[in-house]
Amino acid sequence: MHHMKTLRILAGLVLAVALCFPAKATVLPDFSDLAEQAGRAVVNISTVKTDRGGERMRDFFQFRRPPRGGPMDEFFDQFERFFRDQAPQQQQPQQQRPRREGALGTGFIISADGYIVTNNHVIAEADEIKVNLQGSNSSYDAVIVGRDRETDLALLKIEAKEKLPTLSFGDSDGARVGQWVLAIGNPFGLGHTVTAGIISAKGRVIGAGPFDDFIQTDASINPGNSGGPLLDLQGRVIGVNTAIVASGQGIGFAVPSNMAKGIIEQLKSGGMVSRGWLGVTIQDVNADAAKALGLPEAKGAMIANVLPGEPADKAGLKASDVILKVNGQDVADSGDLLRTIARIKPGEKVKLTVWRKGKTMEVTAELGQRDTEKLTQSPAPQDRPLGDIAGLSLRPVNEQEARALGLDKPQGLLVLDVQPDSDAEIAQIAPGDVIIEVNQQTVSTLADFERIYRTEGREKGVVLVLIKRQGRNVIRTMNVPAQ
């Protein structure tokens, strides 16, 4: 009985505590006011482009056809016969008209006088661009103020009679994974659709361009949502909905607002985007590279190649230097460096903190202008991993070989042969490669090579090697056995 009385007393105490401190109910946000208010500034964008179809194909083959007498004669004859046979069937005027194709997308108004943000791919190659406001049956002709292919952003302008509702950019850096977001757009042409979700991840690299830094969300985003806003609960745009994973559900990507703001400001002021340029090819620093270089952490961006005459060359940067900071801001990896430099205007001077031969140094560089056309013409260094140097047959490069190997002068050690099943073969070192530096030290003789390999290499278990391959620099770490 005594025990039963004690249990009743304890139960009473628990009930009393529960009544004093009620469980906190989980309350989901109500998006209705936000959807109504923000939705007024979200627009439907429709485009029309002309598709010349078979006429374009015929022009292509007629224009490109090589002189007769080659192995492709029969191939081109077949196409000419096809278009000739089709000609009688195309007598009706309506069949001669070029086909016009339409597409739908989304945008949002950022100024009361009619500036609209969208994706570049929404309006690319469009002959006509129409903008429809929410709740309005009238459409407006839009003109392209500017566009940036590398971030897939574009700025349009319409001339409306009335003052337009607007959205403003928020701080995407301050946005947190797990917070609620709202997407508004026109998926599959279903005008003004609102979906809600959370931020699933930040800093996603999906291979869409050189400045990938996407916000990932599970708010439903589908074809037609492109160019629409991703909003926080205060109605601020923290992203521009841009890409989806077609085979996945709840996986969408948005350009962060802090990146979009700078791009849009430049497009509005000058119709084009200017980006800073160092003139280097870079790569990430892995654990082996950090070990070889004596870096405390595997971070920063390692220079693989310095382009002659470009800002980095003028500043004295060298291959195998690791850039750790830009103007005091830490550089996490090669992508981080690319985005940081691109945000700085050409002509500005930047202070770079560089790791070279076991210590940091400060270098000042005046940035140039990033030239997209130049980049597409300049081949990137091959990304082939190199490993252990054992199994290599080497000798110094002579003057005659230097010219054929793309060297300015005789330098380095030429790889003549790689032993089968050796560590070097596994590492994909190939005959014709030229080893220029080992651990940031020039090697011109076999003695140079052997000294660094047997001392620093065996001490650290790894060396950093700069290789010239087909006129391009490639940097890789290579393991060194203890004996």
- The answer to the question of whether 242 is labelled as a binding residue is yes
2 counts as catalytic? no
152 counts as catalytic? yes
Thinking of the domain 276-377, which architecture would CATH place it in?
Answer: Roll (2.30)
Q: What is the pLDDT of residue 92?
A: 46
Q: What is the pLDDT of residue 24?
A: 52
Residue 417: CB partners within 8 Å, gap ≥ 6? Answer: 392, 393, 431
CB contact at 8 A, 297 and 345: no
Q: Choose the catalytic residue: 148, 152, 218, 321.
A: 152
* Structural tokens at position 327: 């103007």
Residue 324: CB partners within 8 Å, gap ≥ 6? Answer: 299, 300, 330, 331, 353, 354, 355, 360
Q: What is the pLDDT of residue 54?
A: 47
Q: What is the pLDDT of residue 9?
A: 59
Thinking of the domain 392-479, which architecture would CATH place it in?
Answer: Roll (2.30)
Domain ranges in the chain are: 180-270, 276-377, 392-479
Q: Choose the catalytic residue: 46, 172, 226, 334.
A: 226
Distance of alpha carbon 170 from alpha carbon 159, whole angstroms: 26
- The answer to the question of whether 243 is labelled as a binding residue is yes
- The answer to the question of whether 226 is labelled as a binding residue is yes
Going by CATH, does the domain composed of 180-270 fall within 1.10.3720.10? no
SS (H, E, C) 270-337: HCCCCCEECCEEEEECCHHHHHHHCCCCCCCEEEEEECCCCHHHHHCCCCCCEEEEECCEECCCHHHH
Strand partners, 230: 183, 239
Distance of alpha carbon 53 from alpha carbon 111, whole angstroms: 39
- The answer to the question of whether 225 is labelled as a binding residue is yes
- The answer to the question of whether 121 is labelled as a binding residue is yes
* Cβ-based neighbour number of residue 478 at 10 Å: 26
422 counts as catalytic? no
Q: What is the pLDDT of residue 13?
A: 57
* Structural tokens at position 203: 């800093």
Kindly give the confidence (pLDDT) of every residue in the chain, 483 residues in length, as a single tens digit, with 9 standing for 90 and above: 555 555 565 556 555 545 555 555 557 889 999 999 999 999 999 998 766 554 444 444 444 444 454 444 554 455 455 445 545 454 444 455 555 666 789 999 999 999 999 999 999 888 899 999 987 777 899 999 999 988 999 999 999 888 999 999 999 999 999 999 999 999 888 888 999 999 999 998 877 777 888 999 999 998 889 999 999 999 999 999 998 877 778 899 999 999 999 999 999 998 888 899 998 888 888 888 888 889 999 999 998 888 888 999 999 999 889 999 999 999 999 889 989 999 898 999 999 999 998 999 999 999 998 875 555 444 333 332 223 455 777 878 876 667 667 777 888 888 777 677 766 666 666 777 888 888 888 888 777 788 887 888 888 888 787 888 777 888 877 777 776
Q: Report the chain's C-alpha Rg in angstroms.
A: 31
**What is the separation, in whole angstroms, between the first and last Cα of the chain?**
80
CB contact at 8 A, 415 and 432: yes
Q: Tell me the whole-structure pTM to 2 decimals.
A: 0.64
Q: Choose the catalytic residue: 121, 200, 213, 320.
A: 121
Q: What is the pLDDT of residue 381?
A: 35
Tell me whether the CATH fold assigned to 276-377 matches the one assigned to 392-479: yes
Q: What is the pLDDT of residue 428?
A: 66
Distance of alpha carbon 321 from alpha carbon 291, whole angstroms: 14
- The answer to the question of whether 467 is labelled as a binding residue is no
- The answer to the question of whether 152 is labelled as a binding residue is yes
Cα dihedral sign, 413-415-419-422: positive
Distances (CA, A) of 60 to 37, 85, 131: 50, 17, 34
